[in-house]
Chain A
Amino acid sequence: MSIVAPKPALQVEDLHVTFRAPGGDVHALRGATLEVARGEIVGLVGESGSGKTVLGLTALGLLPRSPHPDVSGTVRLDGEDMVAAGEEQRRARRGSYITAVFQDPMGSLNPSMRIEAQVAEALGGGEPDSIHELLAQTGIPEPRIKARCYPHELSGGLRQRVMIAMALARTPRLIVADEPTTALDVTVQARVLDLLAGAARDRGVALLLVTHDLGVAARVCDRIAVAYAGRVVELGSAGEVLGRPRHPYTVGLLASRPRLDGSIAGGDLPTLPGQPPDPRHVAPGCAFAVRCPSASQRCAESPPVVVDGGQRCECHHAGSLDCWPATAPRARVGSELSSAHSLRVASGVIPIPAVVVEGLECHFPRPRRHPFAAASEPLRAVAGIDLSVPAAGSLAIVGESGSGKSTLLRAVVGLLTPTAGRVTLGPGASPQLIFQDAGASLTPWMPVGAQIAERLATLNVPRGERAARVAGTLEAVGLPAEVAAVLPRKLSGGQRQRAAIARAIVVPPALLACDEPVSALDVSLAAQVLNLLCELRATLGIALLFVTHDLAAARAVADEVAVVKEGLVVEHAPTEQIFTAPEHHYTRELIAAVPNLAEAA
């Protein structure tokens, strides 16, 4: 009796997708190969521009029509070739065979339809009972009430659960989930992720989880595929890929990720040099070679596919890389910092704090329900916070969205007048703020250098010295001086954040406030920016007030961590203590929610 292997749920072979755009052809996928077996959960991990989203959309048959995509290669759903199929055939497959969960549930749900109507549509018509049951199965409390709601009446986590319910409605063979939890808070993220994976497993539905976050993939995936420059460069079981990566890119990606455990802290994250190639001009041969420390002559040729057990890797050096250090601890910045500290202590100077915040409260009036309603209780975004940052110190404020952490930061730098309490700033230049969206924090129509020079102008630096100061500062943050004459849109995301940092430090402020400075950046860039912030702190003596939802990033830069919830500090302790011995249950919940690579590996 011969056992016929079941056809895989999704089989992608040598898939090329090229968008014909006016500025030149964009090679989004250049021969990607991937297989998702029935009932299997595969994580497709990559940085922005790696082609991971395009792969998901091609599988769904949902590529945009403009710019026009050229697709070649094969995408088989249950053995049926979708590239050759017509639009009718693809449409028939969607909804019953293959479904999707996208990042932004608000954009995917119809704002003018009740939840029950939308779920009924996904079910292909259904009794109210089956709708409520489906909603209940995806962990939606009070499904009868929630079914009557419109999408805007639900929280982000609930909306994403509705999307998952709709994706599961007709028990498809495969769900493509593209960054399904990226927009959610860390604790919600963990729950939604577990729910999605659990529901898929229970029903034997295969899941292709497209994500930029290795931790997310590590948490739930059976196998992990790593995408780089339009190819799947490594594919293997989660444990193998995370524990014994064979491709140098995977090694670098894993190493540059800030961790909650291990020895890397104090701003010395290993980083990948360089940046991903421009998808318009990809050199022949291995696309990673220009960034690869072990690149050799052979890498100009197309890399061979090396198969080792269940692990597949595209690299000339695949076998010989496993002894790379996954972590490269160094103590340079840390030691400088401590020497600066000890110097100050030794000379007997009591450092004046960079900022002291006492009893800070920020209230916002809530709109009245109707014109004659009594004024409702104001929203207490910050409800009484005391904290201080020592000169050249570093404090991370950690909390979820709506915790008041950004409001606190705005009050500290003076963009917002607090309702009550006091902010006392230490001596020195006025505090500066680094925004999450560096692109939006730079004026689009002014050259970068002119924006940096504005701070010099306000501090009466002579006109003749400004250009040199700007050029010097740009070099200090790792940008060439030529950037001065460039408009922000010509820079990449990481370069924009560096330019914004250059503006903040051209006259070193006593306090540099950072509002989620790396959460919009890819892993390798984020590590570079975190290192830069730590280095600036050490060399210029700038104190950091670092607001983030990312505990690992907080650990990488901060001496102390304050956990905020609902406008109050629930725990404030030295960084090591927060992570090794958290006292407040909310802190423990936050730490538990962070996807941990070590577990999976």
Chain B
Amino acid sequence: MSLTADRRVAGAAALATGKPEPLELRQPLRVRLWRRRDLAFGESARAGILGALIPVAVMTLIALAAPLLATHTARGITAIGPLHGPSLSYPFGTDDIGRDVFSRVLYGIRESWLGAVGVIAVGALFGGLIGALAGATGGFVDTLLMRLTDLFLALPAPVLAIAVIASIGPSLFHTLLALSIVWWPWYARIVRGEVRALAARPHAEAARLAGVGRVRLLLRHLVPGALAPVIVTMSLDVGNLILALSSLSFIGLGAPPPAPELGAMSSQGLEYLFGHWWVPIAPAAAVALLALVANLIGDHANRRLDQRMT
């Protein structure tokens, strides 16, 4: 009798005091204010980034190792003479002047892949900087930077490439330069849009009220939120750029002839398509394969990162 009464009193007290909810956490924690590791993403998103970065790194390694994997040089003539079909020692045969197609394709992959990754890195860095600046400052600076971005966005890549090559001569570097000029504005727009959207969110307002300075606000509270869409765009862009580079080189806007470029190789080999199919098909297949790999990486990143951080 008295026991139940006691319990009732205890119950009323517990009701009244409102003890804080017990915290249920799934992992053990240490009391630390800072973690150096990038905190912008959840576990699934982090797996998404790794899933995209590792294949990119592997492809880049293969590209860098092209000289080790190639059986012959890219420009030297082989002993067996021109237009030999594929064989064990010449897997893709030889071309019209007797160069080993397999080795040339390997070097071509190197140029295309490194070129694409380079253009994207430059575009994301430069574009991201412009975008973050425009998004964070707003007002006149924003308008100026974004109209400038639009101006570059309006330039058609092939025409710009022709102009660059006509004025400073054909070379792979010049093609990449032309592509970089038209590529960065996309990143500027993405980052600017994300930063502006994040700046209107309560968390940015709360940080402002907490007295956080402008630079720190941008770097710690806004930019990390723009990383996910930028990484997705970057990974999807690799494929686009490989195709763009090959198309430019196909129409003769790449490095000048003996250079092993996939686009140029398939365009120059076209006349042998019916008699000696390996000459144009091998480099064309390499382009298709590269673009496919790049798109698979991009799709993976997109799936894993697009669901945001919620």
- CB within 8 Å of B: which residues of A? 248, 252, 255-256, 268-275, 278, 292-294, 296, 320, 323-325, 328, 330, 413-415, 430-433, 435, 437, 440-447, 449-451, 453-455, 458-459, 466-467, 470-471, 478-487, 489-492, 494-495, 498, 500, 503, 525, 527-528, 531
Contact = CB atoms under 8 A, between A and B. Distances in A.
A445 B40 contact: yes
Contacts, number: 172
A443 B203 contact: yes
Task: Please provide the 5 A-B residue pairs with the shortest distance between their CB atoms, ordered closest to farther.
Answer: A293-B11, A478-B20, A271-B18, A458-B211, A445-B40
Given A440-B201, A484-B31, A430 B209 contact: yes
Given A445-B225, A447-B34, A495-B23, A273 B15 contact: yes
B203 to A, nearest CB: 5
Contact of A500 (B20, B204, B206): B206
B21 to A, nearest CB: 4
A433 B206 contact: yes
A505 to B, nearest CB: 12
Contacts of B162: none
A415 B19 contact: no
23 contacts: A274-B22, A293-B7, A320-B4, A323-B8, A433-B206, A441-B202, A441-B206, A443-B203, A443-B220, A444-B310, A445-B39, A445-B309, A447-B35, A451-B210, A453-B33, A454-B207, A459-B211, A470-B33, A483-B23, A485-B32, A486-B29, A489-B42, A489-B310
A450 B210 CA distance: 12
Nearest to A477: B20
B202 A435 contact: yes
B33 A467 contact: yes
Residue from B17, B21, B25 having most chain A Cβ neighbours under 10 A: B21
Contacts of B220: 443, 446
Nearest to B44: A22
Given A440-B203, A478-B21, A503-B206, 9 more contacts: A273-B19, A274-B19, A294-B7, A296-B7, A433-B209, A435-B205, A450-B33, A485-B31, A531-B18
Given A454-B212, A484-B32, A528 B20 contact: yes
A272 B211 contact: no
Contacts of B206: 433, 435, 441-442, 500, 503
A320 B11 CA distance: 13
A268 B35 CA distance: 38
A491 B8 CA distance: 32
B224 interface: yes
Nearest to A513: B209
Contact of A324 (B8, B204, B207): B8
Residue from A269, A451, A459, A471 having most chain B Cβ neighbours under 10 A: A451
A328 B39 contact: no
A455 B211 contact: yes
A36 to B, nearest CB: 31
Given A481-B31, A482-B25, A415 B209 contact: yes
B58 interface: no
A268 B15 CA distance: 11
B148 interface: no
A78 B309 CA distance: 44
A528 B225 contact: no
B147 interface: no
Interface in B18-73: 18-26, 29-35, 39-42
B214 interface: no
Interface in B178-213: 201-213
Contacts of B213: 458
Nearest to B198: A443
Nearest to A455: B210
A447 B33 contact: yes
Contact of B12 (A268, A324, A470): A324
A270 B172 CA distance: 74
B151 to A, nearest CB: 24
B244 to A, nearest CB: 33
B14 interface: yes
A480 B23 contact: yes
Nearest to B18: A271
A5 B209 CA distance: 64
Contacts of B4: 294, 320
A325 B19 CA distance: 18
Interface residues of B, number: 50
Contacts of B8: 293-294, 323-324
Nearest to B220: A446
B11 A415 contact: no
A24 to B, nearest CB: 11
A328 B24 contact: no
B274 to A, nearest CB: 51
Contacts of A525: 21
Contacts of A443: 203-204, 207, 220-221
B273 interface: no
Contacts of A450: 33-34
B197 to A, nearest CB: 12
A81 B158 CA distance: 66
A486 B25 contact: yes
A325 B4 CA distance: 14
Contacts of B7: 293-294, 296
B32 A252 contact: no
A498 B202 CA distance: 16
B16 interface: yes
Contacts of B42: 489
Contact of B205 (A273, A415, A449, A471): A415
A449 B204 CA distance: 16
Contact of B18 (A273, A458, A492): A273
Contacts of A444: 203, 225, 309-310
Contact of B11 (A275, A294, A455, A491): A294
Contact of A445 (B15, B33, B41): B41
A488 to B, nearest CB: 9
B10 interface: yes
Contacts of A270: 12, 15-16, 18
A490 B25 contact: yes
B33 A275 contact: no
Nearest to B227: A445
Contacts of B26: 490
Contacts of B34: 447, 450
B11 A248 contact: yes
Residue from B8, B10, B210, B225 having most chain A Cβ neighbours under 10 A: B210
Given A323-B8, A482-B23, A489-B310, A445 B224 contact: yes
Given A273-B14, A293-B10, A435-B206, A458 B33 contact: no
Nearest to B203: A443
A271 B15 contact: yes
Contacts of B17: 271, 273
A33 B174 CA distance: 74
A503 B16 CA distance: 26
Nearest to A458: B211
A43 B225 CA distance: 42
A517 to B, nearest CB: 12
Contacts of B10: 293
B25 to A, nearest CB: 6
A553 to B, nearest CB: 15
A309 B224 CA distance: 60
B61 to A, nearest CB: 30
Contacts of A248: 11
B15 A272 contact: yes
